[in-house]
A and B are shown apart, each in its own frame.
Chain A
Amino acid sequence: MSGRLVSAAYAAGSFAVLLLVWEAVCRYFEVPEFYIPAPSRIAVTLVRGMPLYAANLGVTLYSTLASFVLALILGVLLGTLVSEVRFLDRTLHPVLIALQAMPRIALAPIIIVWFGFGPESKIALGTFTAFFPIFVNTAQGMRATESEQIALMRSLKASRWQIFRMIRLPNALPYLFAGASIAVIFAMLAVIVGEFLGANRGMGFLIISQSSQMDTAGVMATVFILSAIGVLFHYGLQYLRDRLLFWAAQGEVAGNPL
């Protein structure tokens, strides 16, 4: 416990030193504000613009979470089907792997043509991007089950459903979590790129309009908020993982970031 506190103190200290040096450099060399604003300037912009940021953050968060949930449902469903049904493994799996190799963000302009300027196009792009880490990890996790666990269940005349529910699904959970923590970041990235390209609300849209007005401090404030949200997602999932998967060794399963 105290070890953790000490680590936190070191981390906070590093950030404080970084910010102080940044502030000092900006002031001493009189760096133009539109080029690199001082941290104090960014903080003031952030506080003054709160209502604006809150409104746009709501839009981006909504699209991100909707993408994540859709990707989770589709990824777990298809990942399970591919690992359970041999026919789908041989037909659907190669197609999905080929799709995965595609730079999915590059499809953003077309997806905006298909789904319009509203949140729908961001959710479509976000889902498409976040789907793959969940799908791949679920399929991999379902297969990672030890053959002896299956033999044990078969010796008890377990049904296929029992083997799935009592053995394969719990075995896949650590993999699923690793996939989900990547997917949620992917979803947010995709939504922001979507908002860059065609939107009239959201954090991505805000960044574009701020930078067109040379409001660099504003852009940095927006990015700061997005980073904070990313950190929040990360720790939220980690908390859930520690709660649900206390039985799995820590860091046993690496993610599959593609």
Chain B
Amino acid sequence: MAAGSASAPKAADAHADILVLRGLAKTYRALNGSEIVALSPTSLGIRDGEFVSLVGPSGCGKTTLLNLISGLIQPSAGQILFDGRLVDRPNGEMSLVFQRPVLLPWRRIIGNVLLPAHVMRLKPRAEYVARAHELLRLLGLGGFENAYPRELSGGMQQRAAIARALVYDTKVLLMDEPFGALDAMTREDLNIELMRIWELTKRTIVFVTHNIAEAVLLSDRIVVMTPRPGQVREILTVDLPRPRSLETMVAPRFGEIAGHIRGLLHHRPAGEAPAR
């Protein structure tokens, strides 16, 4: 059951679920009036400090689930509890990372990283400025503080977006396919860096991806989702020891887990159309 010796201290605090989803569901009304089920009722508890991935093809409701958790959209049924409190709007305690960097082009990198502190008027300012510089250094962007976003490559911009998400004290990081737009090499680099930062900062991460290998490499648990209607197919624990590295990906156990997930995603009940 335990995910490995390195994460044992986190697992020991098992009753501390930072996020609780109870019967969470979302339906949309289509233009022709029919109802589309984006997410079938889903219940899930996410422990403090846990790394959970939501994996599935497009249209399986994983982004919907992430938007529901963040409070950006309202559920049709069920509820989300953050630290025991109901989430009915963004509460400022969960940071977002999107597929695209979403940096403000008119702000320098340092200004973009400090955006949360600026918007939320966090004090003392000097402390956040120091933290922003430290994060940029940690993410390999030291020296680019005064550059404008368009002067940076896609991978560097995404690093800045991660620094922005980490600059203020949030317990939860919600990441929506954050490396989906990057090339494979950059993606692997950032996977390793994200793990390092996660182990350093002890934040809870909910990570949406359609890349199975990425999910297995990073996660404590993986929520496998299937489309039409969007629903949770299975929740599985990744029992690979930490710390993990790119070598972890050639371990036999890694292949087994990835193969199992692949099987879940490809073997649909008979009569159902395959995903496009």
Contacts and interface: CB of A to CB of B under 8 A. Distances in A.
Given A149-B104, A166-B119, A167-B104, A157 B96 contact: no
B120 A157 contact: yes
A147 to B, nearest CB: 10
B120 A156 contact: yes
B72 interface: yes
B94 A248 contact: no
Contacts of A146: 102
A155 B106 contact: no
Contacts of B158: none
A151 B73 CA distance: 10
A158 interface: yes
**How extensive is the interface on chain B, given as a class?**
20 to 34
Contact of A155 (B90, B104, B149): B90
Contacts of A158: 119
Contacts of A167: 104
Contacts of B104: 149, 166-167, 170
Contact of B116 (A151, A156, A246): A156
Interface string B24-66: 0000000000000000000000000000000000000000000
A216 B226 CA distance: 79
Interface string B60-97: 00000000001010000000000000000011101110
B96 A151 contact: yes
A177 to B, nearest CB: 13
Contacts of B198: none
A162 B106 contact: no
A151 B72 contact: yes
Contacts of B119: 153, 156-158, 162, 166
Interface in A118-159: 146, 148-149, 151-158
Contacts of A152: 96, 98, 102, 115
Nearest to A163: B119
A162 B116 CA distance: 12
A162 B119 CA distance: 7
Nearest to A150: B72
Interface in A161-182: 162, 166-167, 170
B268 interface: no
A156 B169 CA distance: 12
A247 interface: yes
B133 to A, nearest CB: 20
Given A162-B119, A247-B148, A247-B150, A154 B72 contact: yes
Interface string B140-161: 0000000011100000000000
Contacts of B150: 247, 249
Contacts of A249: 150
Contacts of A156: 90, 92, 115-116, 119-120
A155 B120 contact: no
A170 B90 CA distance: 24
A155 B72 contact: yes
Contact of B96 (A155, A166, A170): A155
A148 B98 contact: yes
A155 B98 CA distance: 12
Contacts of B98: 148, 151-152
B100 interface: yes
Contact of A148 (B90, B92, B94, B102): B102
B134 to A, nearest CB: 20
B102 A247 contact: no
A155 B92 contact: yes
A153 B96 CA distance: 10
Contacts of A162: 119
Interface of B: 70, 72, 90-92, 94-96, 98, 100, 102, 104-106, 115-116, 119-120, 148-150
Given A166-B119, A167-B104, 15 more contacts: A146-B102, A148-B98, A149-B102, A151-B96, A152-B96, A154-B90, A155-B90, A155-B92, A156-B92, A156-B115, A156-B116, A157-B119, A157-B120, A170-B104, A170-B106
